[in-house]
Amino acid sequence: MFLTVNPRYGEVSRAMRNRGVEIFMMEPYWALDDISGSLEIFESKDVKRFLSLAGIPFAQLIDSMARAHMYAKSE
């Protein structure tokens, strides 16, 4: 069985997620031609979305963790 979810409309319950394997599909930005200068913005949004969906409770904590991730990646 496959469950797909559009985060705009909600998410699968934790009980249902615990009964399977969760695979997160990132957007294929490498396939786009017009984002050369804004790739970091897209990556930052993805990191924040991932942290939010992982259950991190506060926006300030999400922002701090995303900045730390982007810094560690660049270093």
User: Which of 33, 35, 34 lies closest to 44, judged by CA?
Assistant: 35
User: Which of 53, 71, 51 lies closest to 61, judged by CA?
Assistant: 51
Asked if residue 33 is part of any domain, the answer here is yes
**Structural domain span for residue 66:** 27-74
pTM (predicted TM-score): 0.48
- How many whole angstroms separate alpha carbon 53 and alpha carbon 51? 5
Asked if residue 6 is part of any domain, the answer here is no
Please report the DSSP string for 30-56 in residue order: GG-SS-TTTHHHHHHHHHHHHHHHTT-
Asked if residue 61 is part of any domain, the answer here is yes
Q: How many domains does the chain have?
A: 1
pLDDT in tens, 7-57: 788 887 888 878 887 776 666 555 555 555 566 777 788 888 888 888 888
